[in-house]
A and B are shown apart, each in its own frame.
Chain A
C-alpha cells in the first residue's frame, strides 16, 4: 500500500483508447488539499474520474494508500448530473453514502441513520434534513452531496466543480465546509475547479491540467503567477 493516499505514476487517461492526458505523475498526501485547475476541456474531470476508477487508465498505474474496498473515497459529482425526478429528501440522499459499507440486501439501520444525520449537521444543513433534494438551492444541494461523501467516512474526498453555478455566499459556505473538514478532520481533498475563489487560501497544491499533461505545483504559484499560461511557464522555470 502506498504511503501517499493517491500515487499516480506515468498515468495516461482517456476514452476509447485515445488518451486525453499522458505521462501524469504526482501524489496526493494525507491531509493535503489539492486543486485541479485548467481550461475547459483540458481533462480535469477525466483525471478526477480516473482517480475514482470511473475512467479507464490507459497506461501507468494509480496506487491507493487506503483500502478502496473497505473504505472507498468520498465522491461529490457535479450536482447537475443527478436527476431531480427522484423523490428524495436531503436525508435520503446523504443516507446513500452509508451504503458504501453496507453489504448487499442489508438495509440501513439506526447506526447509518445516525451517521447520515451527523454528516448533515457537519455541513450545516441539519434543519433541512426532510426537505426534498430537488427543492434545494444549488449551494444547499452541493453541501448535501458533500455530506453524502462524508457518510462514507473516507480518508480522501474528490469533488467535481463543487462551486460551479452557485452564488458568492454559497461558494463561501462550501469553501468553509471543505476548509474545516481538511483542517479539523485531516481529510484529504482533491477538487476540480475553474476558479478557486474563496477556497484559494485553503489550497496547498495545484495540479495544472492543460495541453495533454498535468503537473503538480505548490499553491504558492497561484499568488506568484496569475494567468494559466504563466503557471505553465512557472513550472518550466522551476523544473
Chain B
C-alpha cells in the first residue's frame, strides 16, 4: 500500500515515466480498435518495427554526417523522433497506397514490411556500433528515461490525435465498416483511410520512442482484443479499451517497480493476464448460458 502511495506522489522520482506509461497504455488502444476491426492486427507488429528501423537509420545517418552521439543527450531523442516519425509515416502511406490499389494480399504486404524493417534495423545498427547501446535501450522501452520535455511533447501529440479521432469517429467508422457505402455517399474514403493511417503512424512513433516496439504492439492490440469480448457498442469498445490499456499500464508499472521487472514486458504481461481472465470467464459464463459473447 505504501508503495502505491509513493508512486502516486507528484514528487515520485519516476512520475514522468509513470504518466508516459499510462498515456501510451490509454491512447494506443484508441487506434488499436481499428486494427482489430479492420482485421489487420499484424500491422501492429510491422509498424513498430518500421519505427525502430527509422530510429536506427537516424542514428546511423547522424553518425555519418555529424559524428557519434551520446546517450541521454537532448539531440539523441530528437534524432530518434525524426527517424521514427519519418519511417512510420512513409510506411503507412505506402501501405495505404498499396491497399487502395489492391496489390497483393494484406498479409503479404504486412509480412514483407516487417521482414524488411527488422533486417534494416540490424543492418543500420551493425554500421553504427556506437548507437547499439542506445538502440537496445529504446527497443526495450526506454520509458524510465522520460524527461519533462519529452513527456510534454507526447502529451501534445497524443491530445491532438485523440481529438482528431473523436471528431472524425463517424467517418472513420463508416469507411471501416462499409467502404462501398462511404463511396456511394460521395465521401473520399481514400482520404479518410489516409488520415487514420497518419494518426496510427504518429501514435506508433511516439509509443515506440517512449515504451519500445514490444509494449507499443501490446497496447495496440491486447486491450482492444479484450474489450472486443465484452463490448456491444462502438463507444464502449473504444473507451473501454482505452481505460483498460491505461489501467493495465498502471498496474504493470506498479508490478515492475515492486518486483524489479523490466517495465514494458511487465505492462504487456498484466494486459495479457487480463485478456486470459476475461476470455476464460466469458467462455465459462457463455457455456452456462449467462453470457452471450459479442
Contacts and interface: CB of A to CB of B under 8 A. Distances in A.
Nearest to B169: A107
A87 B184 CA distance: 23
Contact of B186 (A72, A83, A89, A107): A72
Contact of B184 (A73, A89, A102): A73
Query: Which applies to chain A's interface (DSSP): helix, strand, loop or mixed?
Result: loop
B178 A87 contact: no
Interface in A163-212: none
A88 B177 contact: yes
Interface in A65-85: 68-69, 72-73, 75, 77, 81-83, 85
A100 interface: yes
B185 A87 contact: no
Interface in B231-261: 231-234, 236-237
A52 interface: yes
Given A53-B184, A54-B184, A82-B177, A88 B233 contact: yes
Interface in B158-195: 167-168, 170-171, 173-174, 176-178, 180-181, 183-187
A134 interface: yes
B294 interface: yes
Nearest to A152: B185
A87 B294 contact: yes
B113 to A, nearest CB: 23
A104 interface: yes
B292 interface: yes
A92 B233 contact: yes
Interface in A89-124: 89, 92, 96, 99-100, 102, 104-108
A135 to B, nearest CB: 7
B181 A85 contact: no
Contacts of A52: 180, 184
Q: Could you say which interface size class chain A belongs to?
A: 20 to 34
B232 A69 contact: no
Contact of A85 (B37, B171, B173, B232): B37
B168 A89 contact: no
A121 B232 CA distance: 22
Given A75-B180, A134-B294, A99 B185 contact: yes
Nearest to A97: B181
Contacts, number: 77
A153 to B, nearest CB: 12
B36 interface: yes
Given A86-B37, A96-B178, A104 B232 contact: no
A72 B184 contact: yes
A132 interface: yes
Given A83-B39, A96-B178, A132-B294, A88 B234 contact: yes
A96 B181 contact: yes
Interface in A21-54: 49, 52-54
B184 A85 contact: no
B232 A89 contact: yes
B294 A105 contact: no
Contacts of A99: 170-171, 174, 185, 187
Which of A86, A92, A107: most chain B CB closer than 10 A?
Answer: A86
Given A102-B170, A104-B168, A135-B292, A86 B186 contact: no
Given A88-B177, A96-B174, A75 B184 contact: yes
Interface of A: 49, 52-54, 68-69, 72-73, 75, 77, 81-83, 85-89, 92, 96, 99-100, 102, 104-108, 132, 134-135, 152
11 contacts: A54-B183, A77-B180, A83-B37, A85-B228, A86-B176, A87-B231, A87-B236, A88-B234, A89-B232, A96-B181, A102-B170
